[in-house]
Each structure stands twice: as structure tokens, then as C-alpha cells.
Amino acid sequence: MKKLWEKGFNTVKSVEDFTVSNDRILDKKLAPYDVLGSIAHARMLENIGIITPDELEQMEKALAEILKDILADNFYIEDDVEDVHSQVEIMLTRKLGEVGKKLHTGRSRNDQVLVDLKLFTREALKNTVHLSHQLFKTLIQLSNTHKDVLMPGYTHMQVAMPSSFGLWFGAFAESLVDDVQLLLAAYRISDQNPLGSAAGYGSSFPINRSLTTQLLGFNNLQVNVAYAQISRSKNERTIAYALASLANTLSRLSMDVCLFSGQNFRFFSLPDEFTTGSSIMPHKKNPDAFEMMRARCNKLMSLPNEISLVTTNLPSGYNRDYQVTKESFMTAFDEINECLSMANILMENLQVNPEIIKNEMYDSIFSVEEVNKLVLEGIPFRNAYKMVAQTIADKTYKPKKDLHHTHEGSIGNLCNNMIVQKMDAVLYQFNFMKSDVALKTLMGDI
């Protein structure tokens, strides 16, 4: 196996296979970011006089060719090559000879993988935020459409008080606001440049880390080189917490739909083509997509704990243990993004039952309204409560279904515009344009 650290001896193949595992497969996803980090690093090396302008021009042209192959899906990591960093450097050296060997000056694979993961994460988070916003807009639209359609509300899984489909949809929309707020916090913690920290102890070369921070569009520099290395687990764990919060919202939404679409409730239904059937029960229409979403999101909620268990007691400096969290961390974005996309499709096709509140089994939920009316007539609340409770016990209670909920966030005054404003305020703070412009400039005409 070709290694950047080759020193004239061969590692036992079983050890190589065990330590590399499927890292080469994951590294293909990091390939474009490895090249972009290399372009920024090369420009910095020219800026401090380590390479000449002519050498930089050669490097940039060759790296651009490699990036084009990656974007065209014509890139692969050779069987005997250890990782993406090795593959890119080998390809560069094949193209440029001795000039290609100069690229690794002043950096380590340790800070290479850090910057690759940071750039990968930044793009992945952007996609997650975009999909979260799409689902948010769908939920808000559904909330506004069904704002006056009543449904039963439950506590302790017992019929409790009047709710509305508008209130239910809006609740999950506002939950997404908090999830995106957590994604913003994770994004800010991650959006710091580790390049130049080398193996975690800096370099005797006068490298310009502020320049690579600017070139790569990072919001800030991860200043302390030792912290840049040990921050990896914190970055991954913080992002995992944000993804887990989002997964929790989707899981609870899925559970509600699975429960409330059953024949015992009939609050929701899905078109036949969005359900599956049974091999022996002709009547079955199963909400399998929601069940799978619930399961996959519940699994995602274990990710912060998994990362913590692997990394909590690691000593300072780089440790190979980080490779174990890499797969779970990187694939989590595909998982949550697929769930968000499916949730949006399903919610766009979810049908509500506008007649459900007319079922007499829900008459008791209007008892609180009767208590409140008596209070407004001057009867103390506790006395009014007992009076209505007695009519229920005597079976003389007759519901009056005219509701007067007017306060902010209630079924009669959803204030969805306030929820939209909250989401817009969070989204504005991401400032994705800064990183997009920086990377587009770095790529040039590619």
C-alpha cells in the first residue's frame, strides 16, 4: 500500500486492512474538499515564499484537473493507496514530478482530514438547513389551511381539550425553528479553520493561517493548534446533538401520524399510493414510510452518545480512534436529509378528517369551556369546576362548541407569522453566501 509516511518497511496486511477498514469509501466524499483545501494551502505556500508563482500555477492547474475528475465521478482511490490525501498527492506528483512533492510542506494529514471534514460538514449542514426550511414551510402552510379545523387534544393519552389541526401542524413547525437554532450553533462552532495546525503542534514554517481562513470562507480561525486537533470530537458531538434534536422532531411527528391515522382515531389518512399492504389482510393500508422515519430518526438520536463513548477519554493530540466515529458522523447527514425529504413529501399528501370533532365521544373536551363561561359570570373557578364535573357525573352535561381562544399561540390565534419571523431570523445568521462565494472563487472556472 502506498503511504505518505513510507519509511522502507511494510505493515502486516491484516493490520492495514483492520486500520483502514472502509475509510477509502468514505474518503471519496471528502475528495473535492481535499482538493479545495490543497489549492488554498498551495496559495498560502506561494504567499510566504515556499513555492514560486510558476510552481503555484502548475499546482493549481493540476489540482483543477483532479477536481474536474472528482466532480465528473471519474475519481477513485486506488486499491493500494491508503486514503484520499495520499491519492490526491500521488496524482499531483504523477502530473508534476518534484513540484507535486512540495504541496505537503507545512501541513499534516491530521489537519488535512480536519479541514476536509469541516468543509464537508459545512456543505452537509447547508443541505440539512435547506430541507428543514422546506418542511417548515409545508407545515406552516398546512397550519394556516387547517387553522379552524378542530381535533381532540390529549394528555396522558386521554381525551383532554379542543385542539386544531392548525395547532398540531404549527407545533412541529415551531419545533423545527429550535432545531435549526441548534444547527446554527453547531455550524458556528464548526465553521473555524484548522488548517495549519499540522499534527497539532504547528510548524516552523511561517505559514499564514489567516489567509487560508479567508480563501476557504471560514468565519473564523481555530487559533490554538493543539485545540484544533482535540476539537474534532467536540465538533462532531455538537453537530450530532443538533441532528439528534431534528431527528426527535421527525420521530414524534411520525409517531403522531402513525397513531392518529389508525382506525381508532381516523384523524389523518394517506392516499393509497403512499401506503403499503399486508400479504394476508386485504384491508390493510400501513403507514410504513412514517414507521421507517420514526425508526431511522430514533437511531440517529443515539449518535451523540456513540461519539461520546468513543472519544470521551482520549488523550490530547490525534488518535486513530477518530476514524471509528467518521462513518457514523458522515452518513448521519444522508440519513437525516433523506428523512426530511420524505417527511416533506408525506406531509404534502397527508389528509385531515374535518368531521372528527363531531363524534360524540369527544363532547367532554368542551367541559373546560363551560367552566370558563361560569367563571366569566362571576362564579369562583373551583366552584365552577365542581358544578361542571357534577353535570358530567349525572350525565346531564351538554357541550357548547363555540370557542373563544384569542391569546397568542392558541387555536383561535395561531400567530404563525411570529413563528415564520423566528425561523427567518435564524436562517439569516447562517450567511451561507460567504462560504459559497469563497469556494467558487477558489475553484475559478472549474
Q: What is the DSSP string of 149-214?
A: -EEEEEETTEEEEEEEHHHHHHHHHHHHHHHHHHHHHHHHHH-EE-TT-TTTT--SS---HHHHHH
- If DSSP codes are grouped into helix, strand and coil, which group holds residue 407? coil
Question: CB of 311 within 8 A of CB of 102?
Answer: no
- Give strand ranges (E) for 270-353: 351-352
CA–CA separation, 166 vs 65, rounded Å?
A: 53
Rounded distance, CA 247 to CA 305, Å?
Answer: 14
- Asked if 314 and 288 count as a contact pair (C-beta separation under 8 A), the reply is no
List the Cα angle 180/301/294 in 5-degree steps. 90
Q: What is the distance between the alpha carbons of residues 193 and 184, in angstroms, rounded to a whole number?
A: 17
Alpha carbon of residue 202 to chain centroid: 32
- Dihedral angle computed from the Cα positions of residues 242, 180, 177 and 336, in that order, rounded to the nearest 10 degrees: -70
CA-CA-CA-CA dihedral for 227, 200, 331, 346, to nearest 10:
30
Cα distance between residue 291 and residue 294, in whole Å: 5
* Alpha-carbon gap, residue 363 to 382, rounded angstroms: 21
The vertex-294 CA angle with 325 and 168, nearest 5°, equals 125
Residues marked active site are found at: 156, 278
Spell out the residues 6+ positions from residue 402 whose beta carbon is closer than 8 angstroms to its own: 369
| Helical ranges in 261-321 per DSSP H | 288-300, 303-311
Burial of 180 (0-12, 13-18, 19+ CB in 10 A): buried
